[in-house]
Every structure is written in C-alpha cells, then in structure tokens.
Chain A
Amino acid sequence: MAKLNTKPNIAAPDDFYADLLAIHEGLSKEESDALNARLILILANHIGDRETLAEALDAAQARN
C-alpha cells in the first residue's frame, strides 16, 4: 500500500459512521444498493489517481 492511506484519517469517526447509516434510513434494499453505487463513484472520482484506486479495489477484497 504505497499510496492508499489505510491509517485512521476521518475526524470523529462515530459521527461519520452515523451519517453513513442515516442516509440509508428508510430505503429499500434496492434504493440502498443504488445509493452505495453512486457514493462509490463519487468518492472514486474525488480520488482520481488510478494507483490509489487500484490499491483501494485490492484492499476491499476480503481475504484471509
């Protein structure tokens, strides 16, 4: 992981986590899936850098 920051980087992590759950409140599974997909694309575009994105794709894959 040369470029992807995997150390704690979000101030007030409990607040962010609550915000993340809050935008899904009352949504159907289908609506939530769509929202997550939009969120991933928005965040990915903000990062932009392909190397960082590749490391993030790699990090997200569950492995033992």
Chain B
Amino acid sequence: MLDKTVETGGKKIFETPLYPYRQSPDQKPDAKAHHPVVIVGAGPIGLAAAIDLAQMDIPVVVLDENDKVSWGSRAICFAKRPLEILDRLGCGDPMVDKGVVWNVGKVFFDDRQVYDFNLLPEKGHKRPAFINLQQYYFELYLVERVFELQRQGKPIELRGGNKLVSVKEKDTGVNLSIDTPDGPYRMDCDWLIACDGAASPVRAMMGLDFVGRVFEDNFLIADVVMEADFPTERWFWFDPPFNRGQSALLHKQPDGVWRIDLQLGWNIDKEKEKQPENVIPRLKAMLGDDVKFELEWVSIYTFQCRRMEKFRHGHVIFAGDAAHQVSPFGARGANSGLQDTDNLCWKLKLVMDGLAPDSLLESYDVERIHGADENIMNSSRSTDFITPKSEISRIFRDAALDLSERFDFARPLVNSGRLSVPCVYDGSPLNGPDQLTDAPARTRPGAPCPDAPLGKDFLLDRLGGQFQLLAIDAEIPDAVEDGGIAAKALRISAADDPTGDLAARYLGGAKSAVYLLRPDQHVAARWPSYDEAAVKAALRTATGRA
C-alpha cells in the first residue's frame, strides 16, 4: 500500500523519518525570510490545511519539531464528512482503501451481551459513515499528498526538525523564531495557523486561555496485533468482570491491529500500568488465555473538554486540538479539526487576495466555535454515561443498560459515544435566504451538502473547491460574478438519479432548485429558480461583504 515515495527500510511506518531536517536557505544569516502562511504542526490538521492552501496556490511552510508520523494509532475513527473533505484534498482514496468499515456493534453489561446493533448507513453516498484507520496511516497519506503536490510544483514545504520557540505578533503579521539542529533562525509570516495540538506551544507562548472541564479518569489504550477470529465489529463493555466498575472497548484497525481501550480510574500509577507485565494480564483476562497477540503500542491518556474563547487572534489562527479538546468518545477530535481547516482555508484565500474583508475571518470563529461547543456537549454526555460521576448517575446508567436487554426504547439512551456528524452553521452571518418551500431541512443554509448519486458519479465529486451555483431542473448562467468572486454553474436534473436520493435530499416537495454552495460544500442560500440579484446578494453575504 505504501507509495513509492516513502521508503521505510523494514521499520514500522511511525518509526521512519519521512521529512527529515534539511537546512533551508531561510537559515542564512541575513536571509530575512518572509512567507505568506506558516503552519505549526504536521499532524492531521496542519497537513490538511497546508494541502488545502497549496491547492489554491498559496505558498505555505509547515514547521514540525518531529519528522515522523504519529507514534501509535491515536485517532482511529474517521467520519464521512472528513473523508469527503479529503476527497477535495486529493487523498480520500488511499484512506478509504486502507481503512476498515464496520456497521455492527455489540454492547455488553456486566457478564452478558445486552444488545447488538447495525448502523445501516444511509445509501447513496460515495463514502461510508466512517472508517477505522490508524492515525499514522492517515498522516502518511497526507504526507504523500504533500510530496505529490511538490512534484506538481505547488508551493508547499514541510520542514522537519524545526521547533517554533517564539511568536511575536505585529500589526501586519507575525515574527517567528525557530530552533533547528543547526541552531536558531527567524522568519516573518503574514498568517500563522497553529495546529500544534492540545498542549499547543503557540497558545502557551501567547499566554491565551484554554478553559473547560477536567475529567478525573485514566484510560489505557493498547494496539495489539492479533491472529484472532473476532468479527469486524465494535464491542463495548460496561462494568465487565475483567475490568470491574470500569469500561472497555475493542475496535478493529487495518493490518490485524486491534484497538483496546480500558478505563483505569483516577488514582493509579501510570508508569506502572503501562508496563507490559501489567498490561498483558489485563488483555488476557479480556481476550481469553488462548488468544495469541503482540503488543504494538500502549499509552495512558486522560482528557478534558475545553476550548479557547476565540480561535482567531489577529494574524494567528488556531485549529484542531490546539483550539478545542474533547473526550475521545465519538471520534470528534481529528474529525472536527479537519472541519476547522475546511472552513478556514477558503476564507483566508479570499482575504489574502483582497477580495473579502478581514472580518470574513471572524465567521471562522462563529462557525467553528459553534461546532466545538456541539462536540464538547456530545462528548461530555458520552463521558458522563460511560464514567458516571455520582451515585445517582451510575444508578440511572445501570438502569438504562439493564432495560436495554429487554426493551428497545432503552437502547437510544445507552451512550458509548455518538459518532461525529458535521454541524449545521445555523445562525451564521454568512447564511443567505432559504426561499425553497417544501425543501428538506437537512440542506438548509448553513448545512453541509449531503452526497447523492449522479448516475455512476457522486454529487460531491462534481463540486469544486470554489463557490458553486447548483441548479436542479432550473436555468442558470455559466457563472455569476460579484466583486471578483465567481460562482460556477453545475446543472443537474432529478432524473440523473433514478434512486431518488438527490431529489429527497435537495428538492423535497419542490420541483426545481438553485443552490449557492460555499467552497467548503456548505449551503449558503437556496431558491426555487434563478434570480441574478438575489444570487449576487447571497454571494456578498457568504463572503462577508454584505
């Protein structure tokens, strides 16, 4: 599966330096380097931002003190919307080809299975509801996409062994100091995007807040390579005999690697619990004595649910875990981070090109803080169910689990993580009018476009990374332009999709529709037919020029 550009020399991929330190001309004593955009952190979010900007021909430099992909599997669950974003970034296919798709889950309570479920994903989407994929593969495919863009001559640079040590804000940009194996150097940039993780050094250097709720709990995560007959299912245990009073999760990843999560409680000796002689007996108790397995990676984590008060601070913009942190239940960390940069990059491009006012970037705060709050709420609720914090919450939790064995009604109350779905930017200042009567609520202004089949194609593959005017059985011109920003036409018909999914998702009771879509594939406005003045006004609203 590895691309020819990456040679691992027989090592595990996360032990292999992929972008080793090399001296840059910027390090010459009087170089006075200046870059339009610098990104800190070559994790999933920083790499996605870099690819997005480079595809729009914005020169971008990514700094990372490391030179490898993530150590261990870390984030393993990637949802449909991020996969669609990756398609736009040109690297959805390797992720989905390698990833594991699952639909069946089982829930255990005490010593018994209480129920199982099949997610029965909605049909008519190119991408599955989610895939399981180790973060190191996720990052690898992003790095390979960076290399591919470099070969195409796109202005994207990945500097390993470059540690940012100071940040100084100016009125027009940011001054940076960077440490390297050859010593320090300086550079200036117009925009700094901080994707440097939950412990964000940039945030600390700028003395910015990061407040929220601490959850007093520890979780042991182990990746085990197993030659076992376990089906491709998600198994979740509440209070099992092998981990009394706590929870456990078993989840499949590619290459026969299984993710095991064991809740350990608060007062534990982390270093001791991480030792194989303590981990292996726990896993044997869970998997059975005769199952053969090998430990690939073990880690202990705690978590918090919190966010910055604002994500944008002048010319420094925070994205991903640097801006907001959630519990891992529901896979909302990397997934929401990818939606951050999806939201940010087109806005930054318009502002950098002088086509939209700086205030357009304030809508990044509005929309992504809305998303972060939704994710924090959902993941806090899951955490409260999985790890009850009071006697009465445990009593209700156990009551719901007990009832779920006999009664369907109790199953939706059981919360072992609600899978990440993209948020709708209801109330966003960028939203235009919703004048399509009898239309489905799921495609209202602010909503992400749901995919739909178009013959052998899919709708989202037909949308470019620009403003799009989508006509379904309606007349529109080839393009509409206002103030140098164009929306290009895509004309389709409900008849293009015999399954009826397209009509159900975009027309409802309407006969025809005209949608104005943003570059991040969110709906800006919709009407039953084309009206030039209305479309231009909505285009101005969607770009902060109203």
A interface residues with partner B (beta carbon < 8 Å): 33-34, 37-38, 40-42, 45
- The 7 A-B residue pairs whose C-beta atoms are closest, nearest first, are A37-B399, A45-B409, A38-B399, A37-B395, A37-B396, A33-B395, A41-B399
Distance A33 CA – B399 CA, assembled complex (angstroms): 9
Q: Which of B380-436 contact A (CB under 8 A)?
A: 395-396, 398-400, 402-403, 407, 409-410, 413
Residues in A whose Cβ lies below 8 Å from that of B410: 41, 45
Does A34 contact B399, Cβ atoms closer than 8 Å? Answer: yes
Distance A33 CA – B396 CA, assembled complex (angstroms): 9
Distance A40 CA – B396 CA, assembled complex (angstroms): 9
B185 → chain A closest CB, angstroms: 59
B interface residues with partner A (beta carbon < 8 Å): 395-396, 398-400, 402-403, 407, 409-410, 413
Does B400 contact A34, Cβ atoms closer than 8 Å? Answer: no
Closest to A38 in B: B399
Closest to B396 in A: A37
Residues in A whose Cβ lies below 8 Å from that of B402: 34, 38
A16 → chain B closest CB, angstroms: 21
Residues in A whose Cβ lies below 8 Å from that of B395: 33-34, 37
Residues in B whose Cβ lies below 8 Å from that of A42: 403, 407, 409
Residues in B whose Cβ lies below 8 Å from that of A34: 395, 398-399, 402
Does A41 contact B398, Cβ atoms closer than 8 Å? Answer: no
Residues in A whose Cβ lies below 8 Å from that of B403: 38, 41-42
Residues in A whose Cβ lies below 8 Å from that of B407: 42
B411 → chain A closest CB, angstroms: 11
Distance A41 CA – B396 CA, assembled complex (angstroms): 8
Distance A37 CA – B403 CA, assembled complex (angstroms): 10
Distance A45 CA – B402 CA, assembled complex (angstroms): 15
Question: In terms of DSSP, what is the predominant structure of the interface of chain A?
Answer: helix
| A-B contacts, 9 listed (Cβ < 8 Å) | A33-B395, A34-B398, A38-B402, A38-B403, A40-B399, A41-B399, A41-B400, A41-B403, A42-B407
B412 → chain A closest CB, angstroms: 10
Distance A34 CA – B396 CA, assembled complex (angstroms): 7
Closest to A45 in B: B409
Distance A33 CA – B395 CA, assembled complex (angstroms): 7
Given contacts A38-B399, A41-B400, A41-B413, 15 further A-B contacts (CB under 8 A): A34-B395, A34-B398, A34-B399, A34-B402, A37-B395, A37-B396, A37-B398, A37-B399, A38-B402, A40-B396, A41-B396, A41-B403, A42-B409, A45-B409, A45-B410
Residues in B whose Cβ lies below 8 Å from that of A41: 396, 399-400, 403, 410, 413
B461 → chain A closest CB, angstroms: 39
Closest to B408 in A: A45
Residues in A whose Cβ lies below 8 Å from that of B396: 37, 40-41
Distance A52 CA – B459 CA, assembled complex (angstroms): 42
Distance A42 CA – B398 CA, assembled complex (angstroms): 14
Closest to B409 in A: A45
A30 → chain B closest CB, angstroms: 9
Distance A42 CA – B395 CA, assembled complex (angstroms): 14
Residues in A whose Cβ lies below 8 Å from that of B400: 41
B460 → chain A closest CB, angstroms: 34
Distance A15 CA – B448 CA, assembled complex (angstroms): 55
A24 → chain B closest CB, angstroms: 14
B66 → chain A closest CB, angstroms: 48
B410 → chain A closest CB, angstroms: 6
Residues in B whose Cβ lies below 8 Å from that of A40: 396, 399
Distance A44 CA – B400 CA, assembled complex (angstroms): 12
Distance A42 CA – B404 CA, assembled complex (angstroms): 11
Residues in B whose Cβ lies below 8 Å from that of A38: 399, 402-403
Closest to A39 in B: B399
Closest to B391 in A: A33
B415 → chain A closest CB, angstroms: 13
Residues in A whose Cβ lies below 8 Å from that of B398: 34, 37
Closest to B404 in A: A41
Distance A44 CA – B32 CA, assembled complex (angstroms): 68
Residues in A whose Cβ lies below 8 Å from that of B409: 42, 45
Closest to A33 in B: B395
Distance A30 CA – B409 CA, assembled complex (angstroms): 24
Closest to A42 in B: B403
A11 → chain B closest CB, angstroms: 25
Closest to B413 in A: A41
B310 → chain A closest CB, angstroms: 33
Closest to B399 in A: A37
Distance A41 CA – B398 CA, assembled complex (angstroms): 11
Distance A54 CA – B425 CA, assembled complex (angstroms): 27
B319 → chain A closest CB, angstroms: 35
A28 → chain B closest CB, angstroms: 13
Most buried by B among A33, A40, A41, A42: A41
Distance A40 CA – B413 CA, assembled complex (angstroms): 13
B397 → chain A closest CB, angstroms: 9
A55 → chain B closest CB, angstroms: 20
Residues in A whose Cβ lies below 8 Å from that of B399: 34, 37-38, 40-41
Most buried by A among B400, B409, B413: B409
Distance A7 CA – B400 CA, assembled complex (angstroms): 29
Distance A16 CA – B396 CA, assembled complex (angstroms): 23
B438 → chain A closest CB, angstroms: 26
